[in-house]
Chain A
Amino acid sequence: MLPGCSVLVVDPLEETREVLRTALGRRGVRILAASEADQGLALARLHHPDLIVLDLECEGANAGASGKIAAQSLADETQLLVLGNARRVAPELPAGQFVPKPYHYAPLIRKIEELLEKARQPASRAG
């Protein structure tokens, strides 16, 4: 269980938002979801989630907004998991945080859980 963790899902696909909401919600993770990057950016700034799952096709009307999300996550030291093949949005991201599409949900969810565990570790060590 990962209670107290929060994940922001920025993905235009309703199915992905719903699957992550259902699967992670059951593990006690708080889910914030947005279909477009603008919305996602607002949520990220407001709630500072532990992890952002960002689909590269979430640009919507505002090109470049997904880059801003990536920048925001760097500023907040939030983990970022990018869904898509391109590294163009955030080339400075370490490898392994990209999940190419199409993907399967079970491994994706495992990966999210791993990242959340990692995010918690430094905190628990400090405390």
Chain B
Amino acid sequence: MPSLFVFRGNNQGMRFELEGEAVSLGREAGNDIQLHDTEVSRRHAELRRAAKTFTLTDLGSSNGTYVNGKRIESHSLANGDEVQMGGSMMLYTCLGDESAGDLADKIDIIARHQPGDRSRIVRSMSQAEGSRILDDDSGGATSPWLARARSNLQVMYRTALAVSHTLDIDQLLSRIMQLIFEWVEADRGCIMLIDADTGKLEPKVRRNRKGVKSEDRITISKTILDYVMEHNEGVLTSNAGEDERWNPAASILQLGICEAICAPMQGRYHMVGVIYIDTSISPQRVIQQQEAAKFTEEHLKLMIAIAHQAALAVEDTRYYSAMVQAERLAAVGQTIATLSHHIKNILQGIRGGSFLIKEGLSQHDEGMVGKGWEFVEKNQERISNLVMDMLTFSKEREPEMAPADMNAVAADVVELMTSRAKEKRVELRFAPANGLPTLTFDAEGLHRAILNVVTNAIDACQAAASDDEGAGADSPPRPGAVEVRVEYDAAAAVVKIIVSDNGPGIPPEEIDQIFSLFVSHKGSRGTGLGLPVSQKIVQEHSGRIAVASRLGEGSRFTLEIPAVPPESVSPNAKSDGKTLV
């Protein structure tokens, strides 16, 4: 589905999917997409569906609508277009219609010895060999032009490689600078990027050739920079006058010649900065070589090409980091929102409990005190569970593998949950495995993993039974039943804990999300932590957790853990503990 992703501005990190025929954008709440941006007009622009994409039309906004840096009245959007309104920048994405399924129909992969397949491998070439396509010795350069062209291509090829796998802008720029220095005899160089906020050029990387004093300040003429920025053209400058070039004048013989190349870093839509290199040629050398220029037009051309490549990479890197940043912010925001929500509900419960205790005490009503105390305890337990689940996700926790009895762990969970099941009128059964040996696993972790699954099972049954104050539920109450079964398969060396319930089952559209963090379908009771925690613990044991569910019949969760006999686990660790010194 076409979408707008906000990568700069107050809505940063939000993705708006574009549905329907028309989508309005603006600052007012009534818009389909509301941008919290004071520079955006109340009703700023409109997107209207046109064939496979959307047409963006400005609705006479005060500050205008821009696509790829150009102000527009109306514009048909293409995938990757950058839309700007006020201080909000958005990326338009619109994927093609060819879905993977269709492609699979059009491409067949056939087995090797099929009669229809007559092709054979004629020559094979390694990746490394392929990248030497531009090496000098590949076929004896005949003309100097060809040699130069090949060398230029090689520079571009290496630039492309250099910019293709880095996500840190500073690192990227210093690599580009290094490449330039390997290829041209520059003395000093620097890359400056345009600061997004101030619009001014900020130096990012500078480099000196070996032997050139590093404390030398690079002085760049503002006239040149302005020219490059304004005209979006690269320039080659020399302080040697045109007429003096082949006829060294006295002044040049004294001072040498300074040459510089300054190339614009033109990205897809904007100029992101400039690359500058310069060199000075000593008077001795001017005399010796009768040559007054190190930098040529060829160098300039190539610099412009490199600068363009670098600019594209800078843009990509910026998009990428803006997205990563936005996603991180969104994730942190979601985490905080979810946790505060749960804590708020727990707090509400505790307040309810303490209110009843206080009232009960003042009225000498022991029943009320008892009820209040029950609420306080229940919410204490909820906080404890929330904290334990959160700790499971923290990095510090390491599973503690030790010999233990899986039957006992499962039985513990069942015992712990019996009163809760009874309270909710759910029958809780337990079937231990026969002949189950002592195995090595993290007993505390698996206790939690099983507990979370059993809690869900009981809650599911409760949801199925008409539980509350008889609000005229139309389905007849069904006795809920949960079974916890431990199975041991010695041949396959796995132990399974199977938790089945006769609840309403999980709708197919929800089943893919049940292990997603913070996704809960239990309303205010669910933290969205339970199953992800179970899954994480099971995966720490190299096991897996599977779910089978039928609507109206119930669900079955199977926690499958490899059976690891105690002696096979790190005998060192064991002896270490008991080493006699």
Interface positions of A (Cβ within 8 A of B): 12-16, 18-19, 22-23, 32-36, 39-40, 42-43, 46, 57, 59-60, 101-106
Q: Which residues on the A side are within 8 Å of B348 (C-beta)?
A: 13, 15-16, 101-103
Q: Which residues on the A side are within 8 Å of B355 (C-beta)?
A: 19, 23, 104-106
- Contact in complex: B352, A105 (CB < 8 Å): yes
Q: How many residues of B contact A (CB 8 A)?
A: 24
Nearest-neighbor residue (CB-CB) of B352 within chain A: A15
Q: Which residues on the B side are within 8 Å of A15 (C-beta)?
A: 348-349, 351-353, 375, 379
Report the Cα distance A105→B372, complex, angstroms: 13
Q: Which residues on the A side are within 8 Å of B351 (C-beta)?
A: 15, 102-105
- B204 at interface, CB cutoff 8 A: no
Main secondary structure of the interface of B (DSSP, over half): helix
- B19 at interface, CB cutoff 8 A: no
Report the Cα distance A35→B473, complex, angstroms: 12
Report the Cα distance A63→B379, complex, angstroms: 27
Q: Which of B356, B359, B472, B524 contacts A13 (CB 8 A)?
A: B524
Report the Cα distance A43→B469, complex, angstroms: 10
Q: Which residues on the B side are within 8 Å of A42 (C-beta)?
A: 471-472
Q: Which residues on the A side are within 8 Å of B550 (C-beta)?
A: none
Q: Which residues on the B side are within 8 Å of A12 (C-beta)?
A: 523-525
B540 to chain A, nearest CB (A): 33
Q: Which residues on the B side are within 8 Å of A104 (C-beta)?
A: 351, 355
A98 to chain B, nearest CB (A): 16
Known contacts: A22-B359, A22-B368, A22-B371. The answer to whether A16 contacts B352 by CB under 8 A is yes
B34 to chain A, nearest CB (A): 14
Further contacts, 13 of them, CB under 8 A, given A18-B375, A101-B344: A14-B349, A15-B375, A15-B379, A18-B352, A22-B368, A22-B371, A23-B355, A23-B359, A39-B471, A39-B472, A39-B473, A104-B355, A105-B351
Chain B 487-512 residues near chain A, CB threshold 8 A: none
- B345 at interface, CB cutoff 8 A: yes
Known contacts: A15-B349, A19-B356. The answer to whether A32 contacts B469 by CB under 8 A is yes
- 28 of the cross-chain contacts (CB-CB < 8 Å) are A14-B349, A15-B349, A15-B352, A15-B353, A15-B379, A16-B348, A18-B352, A19-B352, A19-B355, A22-B359, A22-B371, A23-B359, A33-B469, A34-B468, A34-B469, A39-B472, A39-B473, A40-B471, A42-B472, A46-B472, A57-B523, A101-B348, A102-B351, A104-B351, A105-B351, A105-B352, A105-B355, A106-B355
